[in-house]
């Protein structure tokens, strides 16, 4: 079983599989649906992306799901947000932020934000496709951009936004046995979300939801 899993997650196989499954088409494409039942910022119901687009005036955002292509394994680049931030302080996240008017695409925005937050050189990154959008309770429609990242880069963390950056094995995150479904009560409603604890890191909420979506797009 171990040999099978090792072969399944070999870098060449992983990236060939991603290129066969993902595209740069955003689903759903519409921008005029209203978010009728807002969710918490850090919570995606049952780990699924919402099928809702933006309410008028809401903002688009992009995050970089960076898959670092080492010779023998793939690892996922994640950050720990700075403790002094107004929202999501200290939480595990992908590099990312608002899509600005001067960004050519969600992929361009994700690359720019990754460079601003952690100093990841765009020349090391090859965007491969988009996952399903997520809508947050604060009115962001988040486009996850899956990308191949060449290793041997030097990161320069922006201390105002990022406290730490680290890598987690892709094989661990793509193993459904490591996806636990948790429940919490928010504003009187019981809501569910995925969590993927890895060592001392607690990966949950929209970050875990995006990883779960990647798993479902590739392996379910």
The tally of domains found in the chain comes to 1
CB-based burial label for 220 (10 Å; 0-12, 13-18, 19+): exposed
Residue 23 domain-assigned? no
Residue 2 domain-assigned? no
pLDDT digits (tens, 9 = 90+) for 156-191: 998 888 889 999 999 999 999 999 988 777 667 777
3-state percent breakdown (helix, strand, coil) of the chain, nearest 5: 25, 30, 40
- The pLDDT score that the predictor gives to residue 148 is 98
103 is written with which tokens? 């960004």
Name residues whose C-beta falls within 8 Å of residue 51's C-beta, 6 or more positions apart in sequence: 28, 132
Phi first, then psi: what are they for 175, rounded to 5°?
-100, 115
Counting every residue written for the chain, the total comes to 220
> How many angstroms separate the CA atoms of 130 and 132, rounded?
7
Here the CATH number for the domain that contains residue 71 is: 3.90.79.10
The parent domain of residue 114 ranges over 39-168+179-219
**Greater pLDDT, 160 or 197:** 197
- The pLDDT score that the predictor gives to residue 198 is 95
Residue 8 domain-assigned? no
- The pLDDT score that the predictor gives to residue 203 is 94
* pLDDT above 70 for 4: no
- The pLDDT score that the predictor gives to residue 35 is 34
- The pLDDT score that the predictor gives to residue 140 is 78
Cβ atoms of 135 and 29 closer than 8 Å: no
Residue 125 domain-assigned? yes
Residue 138 domain-assigned? yes
């Amino acid at each position: 079983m171990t040999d099978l899993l090792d072969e399944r997650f070999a870098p060449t196989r992983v990236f060939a599989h991603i290129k066969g499954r993902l595209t740069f088409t955003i689903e759903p494409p519409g921008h005029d649906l209203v978010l009728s039942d807002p969710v918490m910022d850090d919570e995606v119901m049952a780990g699924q992306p919402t099928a809702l687009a933006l309410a008028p005036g809401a903002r688009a955002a992009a995050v970089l799901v960076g898959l670092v292509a080492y010779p023998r394994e793939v690892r996922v680049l994640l950050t720990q947000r700075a403790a002094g931030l107004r929202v999501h302080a200290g939480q595990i996240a992908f590099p990312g932020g608002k899509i600005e008017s001067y960004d050519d695409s969600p992929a361009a925005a994700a690359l720019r934000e990754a460079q601003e937050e952690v100093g990841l050189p765009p020349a090391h990154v090859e965007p491969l496709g988009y996952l399903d959008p997520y809508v947050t309770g604060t009115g962001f429609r988040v486009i996850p951009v899956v990308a191949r990242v060449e290793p041997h880069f030097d990161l320069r963390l922006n201390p105002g936004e990022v406290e730490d950056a680290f890598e987690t094995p892709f094989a661990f995150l793509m193993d459904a046995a490591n996806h636990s479904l948790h429940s919490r009560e928010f504003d009187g409603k019981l809501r569910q979300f995925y969590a993927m604890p890895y060592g001392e890191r607690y990966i949950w909420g929209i970050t875990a939801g995006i990883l779960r979506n990647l798993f479902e797009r590739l392996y379910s």
